Amino acid sequence: MISKGSQRVFSIFAGLFMAISFLFSGPLDLASAQVTVAIGQNFTASTLNVDSSAVPPDPNGFAGPLHYVELINGRFSVYDKSTGSKVKTMTDLTFWNQAGLSFPSGWDVTDPRIFFDPASQRWFASQVDFDPSGTVNTNRFLLAVSATADPTGTWKALGILSDPGGNNFADFPTLGMDAQAIYLGGDMFDSNSFPVGPTLLSIPKSSLTAAPPTTNGMTWLGILNYDVRGDILQPAICLDGSDQGTVLSTSGVGVDNSGNIITNNSLVSFRIQNVTGVQKATLTAPSVLTVQPYTAPLDPTQPDNSSNLSDNDSRFSACVYEVGGVLYAVHGTQVGNRAALRWYRIDASSHAILETGTVADPVLDLFFPSIAANPAGTVVIGYNASSISTFVSSFALVGNTVGGVTTFGQPLLLKSGVASYQNTDSSGSSRWGDYSATCVDPSDPNVFWTIQEFPSSASRWSTQVTQLLTGFPTLFSSVSSNKIALSWSGTLFSLQTTEDLAHPNWSAVSQTSSTNHGTVSVQLPVSAGAFFRLKGP
């Protein structure tokens, strides 16, 4: 696996160590070292024909203070973060019914998105409804908000016409937020299933967190022009307290309406402004960001020598993250004859490309990526990969940004597929995805979660939820007349000691440590040794 950023080929992280003398007092931080990573919770969540009959499931989920919530096509489930145990589950239709919405007979819902907002301590979830018979071409955005930070409690939902004119249908909805508003996007189609343009809505967060939630102050920004605003508008999930209302899109999806592969070489970025004002919200002029050319990826190969697994196109299928004024985004592309990933770091204010890179493998096809980052510069990309000798499996890349350069380590296998997947539709294609989701844990920015899809049999998908424990060790020390008090953040590291740095003989500290909210502490006699270090996993 090779990851290129700023035209640099990055090295692979091999280990992490830190040493201090007991005479040192205060913090010592290896901020410039490569981030460490370990797998925490790692469990299979939902399975075709057990939890859902939908193909594909559109894996989506997010972490909250105590729970991880999975929202996929056909199923809403809540898991205890500390154990991975399922504490609540229901169909997605039941979820919306319990939140107060009803649907015409025979209608269904699809394309889930969900996230937790630390600022309001609320969950927000969305889907669209639709008529499977195709008789009715219009539909609604469905938006639900939890009453508290507990996703097992009460939710309230709103149904919002995707096209107030009643002529078009919203597909592939997107969901974003900032400090002031919640944003919904969609790809609009007419009654002949012809794409007519993207759309956006903004709703003040204060209206949605009221009791009961309302759409007061909502603005429908109309059906926009693909050539001006781009394809598949992803309003960013802003976790840095900003209120810029940033939207990012690809200028095209690497394939035309006839299915021919084409090349695109730009992104589009703009902002939604005046979202809480008396007047309606408006859009800033778009900024066109020139990037390395990209195309829609080829469908991936599987061990049965098939290449009919659909990995879609080069849209931003997963959410765009904004942290510290920087946008993090990833989409699929093609390198040689392999599906690959393209990631970006973009200045949210100036729309300038800060860094971009392509992740490709000479053997594996890589597809359906999602990305998240924390304020310390740790970046995680979750994705699927397969080859002629590898069943579709779940992977993650973990990297760190130092001095404007992002370095990714080796790919981390999260869950292996068990068979070549064949669940074909009338066109002979096996639907997969349509996306995945990766997020930062709001309780600990060094913890990430990702949800991916894998084949649990030759014709059955399952979803895998994985917790990734990352972080840099910061070792604190204080010395009294006969005691050394040491503490550090992160339970992934073990404390070692030696009396001689010139000829070190590192050994584990035998004293019992205590852990409180992720901080490990230990008290040692001065005679325990002159030097200490934290050893990473």
Report the pLDDT averaged over residues 470-496: 73
The mean pLDDT value of the chain amounts to 90
Query: ω into residue 442 within 30 of 0, thus cis?
Result: no
CB 53 within 8 Å of CB 459: no
Has residue 21 got a pLDDT over 90? no
**2 has a pLDDT exceeding 70:** no
- Residue 274: DSSP 8-state: -
Is the pLDDT confidence value at 26 over 50? Answer: no
pLDDT confidence of residue 31:
37
Domain count for the chain: 2
Q: 55 in a domain, yes or no?
A: yes
222 against 26, higher pLDDT:
222
Neighbours of 307 (CB within 10 A): 12
Cβ 185 vs Cβ 224: under 8 Å? no
Q: List Cβ neighbours of 59 (8 Å cut-off, separation of 6 or more).
A: 70, 72, 433, 435, 436, 437, 451, 452, 453, 463
Task: Convert the pLDDT of each residue in 112-140 to its tens digit.
Answer: 999 999 999 999 999 999 999 999 999 99
If pLDDT is split at 50, 70 and 90, which confidence band does 484 have? confident
Number of helices followed by number of strands (H, E) in the chain: 3, 42
- Burial class of 310 by CB neighbour count within 10 A (0 to 12, 13 to 18, 19+): middle
| CATH code of the domain covering residue 108 | 2.130.10.10
Residue 370 CA to residue 119 CA, distance in Å, equals 23
338 in the same domain as 481: no
CB 64 within 8 A of CB 80: no
What's the pLDDT tens digit per position in 134-190? Answer: 999 999 999 999 999 999 999 999 999 999 988 999 999 999 999 999 999 999 999
Position 6 in a domain: no
Strand, helix or coil for residue 324: coil
Q: What is the pLDDT of residue 516?
A: 62
Q: Is the pLDDT of residue 10 over 60?
A: no
pLDDT in tens, 314-334: 999 999 999 999 999 999 999
Buried b (16+ CB within 10 A) or exposed e, 425-453: eeeeebbbbbbbbbbbbbebbbbbbbbbb
Which residue segment(s) compose the domain that 488 sits in? 476-535
What would the pLDDT profile of 301-311 be if each residue is shown by its tens digit?
A: 999 999 999 99
159 domain residue, yes or no: yes
| Residue 300 forms part of a structural domain | yes
Tell me, yes or no, whether 465 and 483 share the same domain. Answer: no
What is the average pLDDT across 451-468? 98
Go through 140-151 and write b for each residue having 16 or more CB atoms within 10 A of its CB, e for each that does not: bbbbbbbeebeb
Please name the amino acid found at residue 530: A
Is there a contact between 524 and 486 (Cβ–Cβ < 8 Å)? yes
510 and 365 belong to one structural domain: no
Which residue, 423, 447, 471, sits at the end of a domain? 471
139 with 130: CB under 8 angstroms?
A: yes
